[in-house]
Chains A and B, each alone.
Chain A
Amino acid sequence: MRTRGILSGPTPWLVLAVVLCGGAALAHGDVSLHVGQAVADLWAGRRSAGAIILGELRLPRLLLAVFVGGTLGVSGAVLQAYFRNPLADSGVLGISGGGALGAVLVYYTGLSARVPLAMPGAGLLGALGATASLLALSGVRAGPGLLVLAGAALSSLFASLLALTLNLVPSPYAAYEVMHWLMGSLTDRTLHDVAIAAPGIALGLALLFASGPALDALTLGDEVATSMGAVRSGPFGTQTRIVLGVALSVGSAVAVTGTIGFVGLMVPHLLRAQTGNVPSRLLVPSFFGGALLLLIADWLTRLIGGATVQIGVVTALVGAPVFLWQVLRLRRSAL
């Protein structure tokens, strides 16, 4: 039944769109390229210009768009189901901001150059700290307003700590890099960045996908969920799995690309109706929906202004209206 749900839902169409947009992202760029020749060179290990452009410049950008977008989409879907709050998203709740702050602290002090995996590790710790603060401030069953308010306060706290850090570290360029960390960017990233983010994203997504059945049970209410065996608390309970899964995947993603807002808010919202309002059925489509959104946003940044437009600017321009529409809907249902 689960398999049929995935095949009959929006997933096949989203996968098709991701493949097409991904192919277009590999084929088009600043210079025109004979893609067939470049792939052949890459396959044969020849260091031709085409092979370098495809393998070292376009491929890391594509992989990051897919996996970071997917991470943000899935984490948004999980957070919305877990908090039963359509405004929940790793960006709105300050979890992305915490992760970015952690990554900034180890990158600019030179720690990440000496300690392997320090970047995703610090991203994980920052995101965990943010989630713990959020739960302590608002609680799991807070109303939508309280949760988002606590998240907004945490977001701006982390953003100002991040800016302060960039002002205090020794590199004279650091202070100008606040935009990368607050608005996100896929420009000139490397395969090394992909390798840094991959383990945390894979492990985190595995934890989030595994929490699907528990999320379904939670829609029936806490008591029913507990009686069905979907245990919420305890060190190995649903809460631990979700918090760790979000912190691992989002922390690793923002450590490489900076915070990219509104993806986790928008994607589950747009796909929820197509998945019959069953949280577990929303997870896989949200991965591909997030990937598709970042691929399109990245293409738009290149279309608008070359390397200087941050990708988070584009996602915010599209996502903020969706967020505002959600706010209006909440207000109407509250009346």
Chain B
Amino acid sequence: MPGLFQPVIRTTRSLVAALCGLLVVSGADARPHRVVSLNLCTDELVLMLADRSDIAGLSPLAADCTLSVLCLSAQGLPVVPANGERLLGARPDLVVSGTFGADRARAVAGTAGIATLAVAPATTLDDVPRQITTVAHALGQDARGASLIAAFRSRLRALAMPVTNEAPRAVMLDANAYSAGPGTLADSVMQISGFRDAGSGARLSLERLVAEPPDLLIRDASPAAPSLAEAIADHPALRARFGRDRMAIVPGNLLLCALPQSLDAVALLEQARKALPRGHS
């Protein structure tokens, strides 16, 4: 996969180098120095992998702590919304984005001859090393990427639990009573924590959830900004049915993007698994 992006980046990078050849002081230093990210997940990867001085802009979501696990490090860095005009105004030499969304802004960057890297979204924890390798290489930070991957793999090995047929069943309750299900990062995190995912991705009926409860109900932390969609997790019927020891709180920002930090969610679920009452563990 990384090979796919390499030629594009090389060509554009040499073009940029040719255009502002006098500005590039050292010829050996060929990594991009004005990186702009347009997507929350690539924001977080760039924050972990790039030199802070190389970051020329992040998406407006990067500094929102309910969404981003690196919101504190994002503070003080420029914000670039995904529109072509603002993007060119940030004078990037590399634009990192997801494969979905920001299409127009990415096209504008391509037309202007700026190197672009589109990272496919990760839906399981297995995708984490691939994403890190791709982004680290584009940023010219291969060594930093390799050590991040090594740390991720060893923590994953230490945490991973087998999923047996007797493993406890869990449901991840999302906004508006939708459940996470197959193909989501939450599903992958549940399985690595040794839970069977009883969710289907469909909207849950609270009556059915109370009548046929899973062993563990996983919910997001209470949000700072109220909405009916997220108030469902506080419904008294769920509190009465699951109590404290069969309800686990996993902050939503750990499950939005597949990152090494998503292993914190695995650790939280394993704690919750140990606390499950007899007959449910």
Query: A residues within 8 Å of B by Cβ?
Result: 29-31, 33, 47, 49, 52-53, 56-58, 107-108, 110, 112-113, 169-174, 176-177, 180, 188, 190-192, 306-308
Contact = CB atoms under 8 A, between A and B. Distances in A.
A57 B228 contact: no
B225 interface: yes
A108 B160 CA distance: 40
Nearest to B230: A173
Nearest to B228: A177
A52 B212 CA distance: 12
Contacts of A191: 236
B237 A110 contact: no
Interface string B203-217: 101111011110000
A49 B241 CA distance: 7
A171 B132 CA distance: 30
Contacts of B228: 173, 177, 180
Contacts of B227: 108, 171-174, 177
Contact of B237 (A29, A56, A174): A56
Contacts of B223: 171
B22 interface: no
Contacts of B175: 173
Given A108-B227, A112-B226, 6 more contacts: A29-B207, A30-B205, A58-B207, A170-B224, A177-B229, A307-B205
B229 A176 contact: yes
Interface in B213-249: 213, 223-230, 232, 235-237, 240-241
A159 B59 CA distance: 32
B207 A306 contact: no
A110 B225 contact: yes
Residue in B225, B226, B235, B240 whose Cβ sees the most chain A Cβ within 10 Å: B226
Contacts of B241: 47, 49, 52
A306 B226 contact: no
A177 B232 CA distance: 13
A94 to B, nearest CB: 23
Nearest to B232: A188
Nearest to B241: A52
- Give the interface size class of chain B: 20 to 34
B177 interface: yes
A80 B266 CA distance: 61
A113 B208 contact: no
B235 A52 contact: no
Given A52-B240, A53-B237, A306-B203, A173 B211 contact: no
Contacts of B211: 31, 33, 49, 53
Nearest to A108: B226
11 contacts: A30-B205, A30-B207, A33-B211, A47-B241, A49-B211, A52-B237, A56-B235, A58-B207, A112-B226, A173-B229, A192-B236
B203 A31 contact: no
B163 to A, nearest CB: 26
A107 B226 contact: yes
Please name the 5 residue pairs, one residue from A and one from B, whose CB atoms are nearest each other, closest first.
Answer: A173-B229, A170-B225, A171-B225, A56-B237, A171-B227
B225 A169 contact: yes
B236 A56 contact: yes
A174 B225 CA distance: 9
B206 A188 contact: yes
Nearest to A258: B228
A56 B232 CA distance: 13
Contacts of B176: 173
Contact of A57 (B226, B229, B230, B237): B237
B226 to A, nearest CB: 6
B280 to A, nearest CB: 15
